[in-house]
């Protein structure tokens, strides 16, 4: 009985591995925010090296940037609930050398999550996931099932004739974000973060990587808040010779909570960013 159970288990595992390798369609298999972050990280770490690649590092504000119009091989390491320092350390620990790194400047006063990267690079499991793709987060059976159901539901919806820009703004989240952007950390804390950022930038540039800063557009009132203004000032003062991509303040960007771009506007910004990166 035990032998037969083990045989059935082995057959099922091999069949699932074959499905993942040969037949799995492009699916969104994330089941929650941390799952999506883990999938992004593993896809970057285990993906093929591209010497001319562009990598975006950021917080949840960069999460919705779409890659279709950006240079081929672009990776988006905008992690929900995490910081730019998580993405920068991921590049270092993965020993990647892209041609260009775009650093989001909106949320530079946010601590990295050491546990997140430690889980990605956990000794033993890291080597197993590299060699056995079915052990990776994106290939978990429950996630694949969710992805298949999500894909089927999406295909069953009627096609919109024009992009929708009608997502309702959350007033509760708006008030929370408005309050958080009205407060500055202590000067010593600000300088500590900037010193860390400068160290990361110098380490990338020492390896021949171009570093470009970008400010993701947010609601107009948030763009003029004390926190956003201070972040902008510190970046321009500490990195005066670097490119700093900012949209025209007169452009209107719709958000869901004052900070996170509504889906259609995220697509707009992705196109704007792609055009700004062209020589």
Q: Which two tokens stand for residue 252?
A: 């209107």
**By the 8 A CB rule, do 78 and 62 touch?**
yes
Q: At what angle do helices 226-238 and 187-206 cross, to 10 degrees?
A: 40
Q: Which DSSP symbol is given to 104?
A: E
pLDDT band at 24 (very low <50, low <70, confident <90, very high): low
Q: Which two tokens stand for residue 194?
A: 């900037």
Q: What is the pLDDT of residues 202-239, one digit of tens each?
A: 999 999 999 999 999 999 999 999 999 999 999 999 99
For the chain, the 3-state helix, strand and coil shares in percent, each to the nearest 5, are: 50, 10, 40
Sign, CA dihedral 240-241-242-243, equals: positive
* Unique residue bearing structure tokens 């949840």: 60
Segments making up each domain of the chain, as ranges = 29-149+167-277
Q: What is the pLDDT of residues 133-182, one digit of tens each?
A: 888 988 888 877 777 777 777 766 665 544 444 445 678 888 999 999 99
Fold of the CATH domain 29-149+167-277:
Rossmann fold (3.40.50)
Nearest C-alpha neighbor of 104 from the set 69, 65, 57, 162:
57
Q: Distance between CA atoms of 72 and 135, rounded to whole angstroms?
A: 27
Q: What is the pTM of this model?
A: 0.87
Q: Distance between CA atoms of 140 and 32, rounded to whole angstroms?
A: 13
Q: Distance between CA atoms of 231 and 58, rounded to whole angstroms?
A: 14
Q: Which two tokens stand for residue 142?
A: 């429950």
Q: Distance between CA atoms of 130 and 135, rounded to whole angstroms?
A: 9
């Amino acid at each position: 009985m035990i032998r037969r159970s083990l045989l059935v288990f082995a057959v099922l595992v091999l069949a699932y591995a074959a499905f993942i390798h040969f037949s799995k369609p492009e699916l969104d298999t994330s089941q929650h925010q941390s799952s999506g972050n883990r999938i992004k990280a593993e896809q970057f770490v285990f993906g093929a090296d591209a010497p001319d690649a562009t990598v975006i590092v950021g917080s949840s504000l960069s999460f919705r940037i779409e890659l279709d119009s950006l240079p081929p091989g672009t990776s988006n390491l905008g992690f929900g609930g995490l910081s730019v320092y998580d993405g920068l350390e991921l590049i270092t620990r993965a020993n990647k050398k892209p041609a260009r790194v775009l650093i989001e400047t909106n949320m530079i006063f946010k601590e990295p999550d050491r546990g997140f990267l430690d889980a990605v690079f956990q000794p033993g499991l890291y080597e197993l996931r590299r060699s056995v793709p079915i052990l990776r987060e994106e290939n978990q059976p429950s996630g694949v099932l969710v992805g298949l159901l999500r894909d089927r539901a999406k295909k069953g919806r009627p096609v919109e004739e024009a992009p929708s820009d009608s997502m309702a703004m959350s007033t509760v989240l708006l008030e929370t974000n408005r309050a958080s952007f009205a407060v500055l950390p202590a000067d010593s804390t600000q300088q500590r973060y900037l010193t860390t950022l400068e160290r990361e930038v110098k380490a990338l540039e020492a390896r021949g990587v171009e570093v470009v800063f970008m400010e993701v557009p947010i609601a107009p009132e948030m763009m003029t808040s004390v926190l956003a203004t201070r972040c902008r000032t510190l970046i321009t003062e500490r990195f005066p010779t670097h490119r700093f991509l900012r949209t025209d303040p007169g452009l209107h960007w719709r958000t869901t909570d004052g900070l996170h771009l509504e889906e259609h506007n995220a697509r707009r910004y992705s196109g704007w960013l792609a055009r700004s990166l062209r020589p």
